[in-house]
Amino acid sequence: MKSNGNGFEEMVAIQLNTRSWPGQAKLSAEDLGLKENEVPEIFRLGNKRLYPDEWRQVFGQLGNRARNYLNDSSYPFVMEYVRAIPKRNLARVMERLEDLKSDYLAKAEEFVERYEAIKDEWRAKYPDIWHRLAPHYPTCSQLRRKFDFFWTVFEIKGAEVKEGSAPEIIAAYEQARTELQERYQEMVEEAVVYLRKKVVETVQNLSARLKEGRIVRNDTLESVRRVEDWFKDLNIFGDVRVEESLTQLRAAINGTDYEDLKDNEALKQQLAGLADQVAAAAGKLDDVSVISGNYKRCIDLS
């Protein structure tokens, strides 16, 4: 793997943002029929809600669906709320995000179309306090702008010092570059552990079911196939030992289903043994720093 001087040649960083109208206004003492000095100091007044929680849940679920997809397709990054993905997967990830964006904005448009009816419902439900709620509702055009779904993709690279910069600026940039390089290596280690952890969880579930005589349904076998595809898709770090052991397990379960396993103890033992080998390879973390060190040659922030 050759470096192009832009940090992690094979990865880009991506940040997903979803926005919706919170539909809340600060609760006041007057809203509760009290004077300001009648609210005990140990109390902190919350918010009054301007539309039903069902809608908040809808937007929350759609946003979480997008984030879960992105998290499953990426690694943790050194910056909070930012993920890193292999460049080779970027087009596919963005295509899926476009679909999720369409779903999100379609639901936002539905909310805007029903906005007046929602307000009427709230007015009828809370007529005594409507005069305290009404000033907090935006116009329809303002409301529409409060919903958004977008992402930002950027290259992972260090800061560049302009030629002729003062010595103290150059020194500060060099220090920042060194610290960033260390964070990148930590990120690789965390990414390798992140991938392995999911592998371990999947194969240990299979092994336990086989050894304990529990039913091994087709979806359990399919979970192994999925995790092998997922691991290969994201393993740009050269974690060969885990990938090879997963491939062996996948080969053994290919063509196998619930009926094949039901009364075949020899096959159960074989698959449990292979699953344990995968778990042992993925759970042995003393080689993570070696993998990170090998991958470090892709880092060139100078």
3-state secondary structure 50-110: CCCHHHHHHHHHHHHHHHHHHHHCCEECCCCCCEEEEHHHHHHHHHHHHHHHHHHHHHHHH
Q: Which of 26-30, 45-49, 55-59, 273-277 has the lowest mean pLDDT?
A: 26-30
The confidence band for 138, taking pLDDT boundaries of 50, 70 and 90, is: very high
* Distance, CA of 85 to CA of 89 (rounded, Å): 7
Q: pLDDT of 21-42, one tens digit each?
A: 999 888 776 767 767 776 676 6
Q: Are residues 111 and 23 in the same domain?
A: yes
Q: What percent of the chain has pLDDT over 90?
A: 59
Q: What is the per-residue pLDDT across 255-286, written as a single tens digit (0 to 9) for each?
A: 888 888 888 999 999 999 999 999 999 998 88
pLDDT of amino acid 295: 63
Last residue of a domain, one of 127, 155, 183: 155
End residue of a domain, out of 131, 155, 179: 155
Residue 120 lies in a domain: yes
* Containing structural domain, residue 293: 167-298
Rounded mean pLDDT of 97-106? Answer: 98
Tell which residue, 196, 263, 265, has the closest CA to residue 235.
Answer: 196
Claim to verify: residue 175 and residue 278 sit in the same structural domain: yes
Indicate the helix (H) or strand (E) that contains 291.
helix 288-295
